[in-house]
Amino acid sequence: MVGLSNLLSIGQAAFYGIGAYVTALALKTLGLSFFPSVILAIVITLLFAIIVGYISLKMEGDYFILATLGIQIIVFTILNNWIAVTMGPYGIPGIPSPKLFGYIEIKGIESFLMVSTAFSAITIFFFHRLIKSPFGRDLKGLRDDSISMIALGKNITKLKIQSFVISSSFAAISGFIYASYISYIDPTSYNLDESIFIISAVLIGGTGNIKGPIIGAIFVVALPELLRFVGLPDSIAANMRMIIYGLTLVIIMRYRSQGLAGVYKF
């Protein structure tokens, strides 16, 4: 959802991963309940995002993409090799379900559906307000013409960091939901491919509004179901799915670079 400010980050999965790992450690090792774990996950991801933001957002264009890519790989390497804390490639199994107010255990598909729907609704509401607000206007302005923004006295580095940090904290929440629902995490869910996958979803849907990424996500999630429906065997389906994502990206960039439902062209 960073699309609004035209910052193509190849490191989203790193934030998603940090959110998930902090959740896992908070729930399992520290034995915290629902709200403290969410808050811890967000705060730690936020801090990390601020540091990364300060470093990478001073760079332009390809350099920014490269920096986020570098950070992505560094995070993955640490998750994969810091065995003492993350258990490395074996992952962290048996993450306990979080408890709401210390009593209600959130467990099973229904309650997680509720939690994730609630979070999605909050996210959409939040972004809707943000895009319509003066802050959203500033981000659009930044996208259109950064020189003018400076001439109008806007601190563009701060703006970029703000939008980067906000989107990273949402990645942290996704990480929280995923880790506590699946109850097992391992580093391969947070590697470079995952980041590229997230970008694909965003770009296929389009950027600059809320509709775009949602449509992108629906496309990305619905496609495997569709392939299963067509009756492809599982062994082929996984590769086939990725081939279709790839082709879709190529075709969309060629004929409709603002994505299926987005506003901005790249």
Partner 1 sequence: MARNILEIKELYKSFSKGKYGKDDETYNLLSNLNISIPENTISALIGGNATGKTTLFNILSGFLKEDSGNIYFHNSKTTNLSEIPPYKREHLGIGRLFQDNHIFPTLTVLENLIIADKNVLKGNPFEAIFNVKRVKESEKVLTQKATETIAHLFGKSHELLSKLNDKASSLSFGQKRLIGLIRLFMSDYKLVLLDEPTAGINPALNDFISEIIKQMVLENGMTVFLIEHNMNFVRKTAHNCFFLDNGKINMQGTPSKVLGNEFVQKNYLGV
Partner 2 sequence: MLTQFLINGFINGAIYAMVALGFAIVYNTTRIFHIAFAILYMIAPYLVYSFYSQAGYPLVLSSVAAIVCIVLISVLIELIIYRPLIKKKSSLNVIMISSIGLMIVGINVIALIYGNDTKILSSSISNTISLGNIIITYKQFTQLVISTLAISGFMVFLKYSKFGIKTRAMRDNVTLCNVFALNVPKFRLSLYALSGAFAAIGGILISLDVGMDPYIGMPMFLNAVVALIIGGIGKFHAPLFGGIFIGLLQSLVVWKFSANWQDLMTFSILIIFLIFRPQGLFGEKQRLV
Give the interface with partner 2 as residue ranges (CB under 8 A): 8, 55-56, 59-63, 65-67, 69-71, 73-74, 76-78, 80-81, 147, 192, 196, 199-200, 203, 236, 239-240, 242-243, 245-250, 253-254, 257, 265-266
CB atoms within 10 A of CB 80: 17
* Separation in Å, CA 38 to CA 64, 175, 180: 29, 10, 10
Specify the stretch interacting with partner 1 by CB under 8 A; choose among 80-88, 111-119, 146-154, 181-189: 146-154
Of 132 and 228, nearer to partner 2 (C-beta) is 228
Q: Residue 71: name its binding partner from partner 1, partner 2, none (Cβ under 5 to 8 Å by kind).
A: partner 2
First to last CA, the chain: 15
1: tokens are: 């959802």
Q: Residue 114: name its binding partner from partner 2, partner 1, none (Cβ under 5 to 8 Å by kind).
A: none
Instruction: Report if residue 138 touches partner 1, rule: CB under 8 A.
Output: yes
Instruction: Report if residue 147 touches partner 1, rule: CB under 8 A.
Output: yes
Specify the stretch interacting with partner 1 by CB under 8 A; choose among 55-63, 133-141, 181-189, 236-244: 133-141
Q: Assess contact for 127 and 207: CB atoms under 8 A.
A: no
Residue 98 CB, shortest distance to partner 2, in Å, is 31
Residue 156 CB, shortest distance to partner 1, in Å, is 7
Query: Hey, CA dihedral for 85, 88, 90, 96, is it positive or negative?
Result: positive
Residues contacting residue 181 through CB under 8 Å, at least 6 positions apart: 112, 116
The alpha-helical segments, DSSP class H, found in the chain are: 12-24, 34-56, 61-81, 83-86, 108-132, 134-144, 146-151, 156-182, 192-205, 211-230, 234-255
Instruction: Report if residue 154 touches partner 1, rule: CB under 8 A.
Output: yes
Backbone phi, then psi, for 30, in 5-degree steps? -90, -15
The contact set with partner 1 (CB under 8 A) reads 126, 129-130, 132-138, 140-141, 143-145, 147-156, 158, 162, 166, 263-264
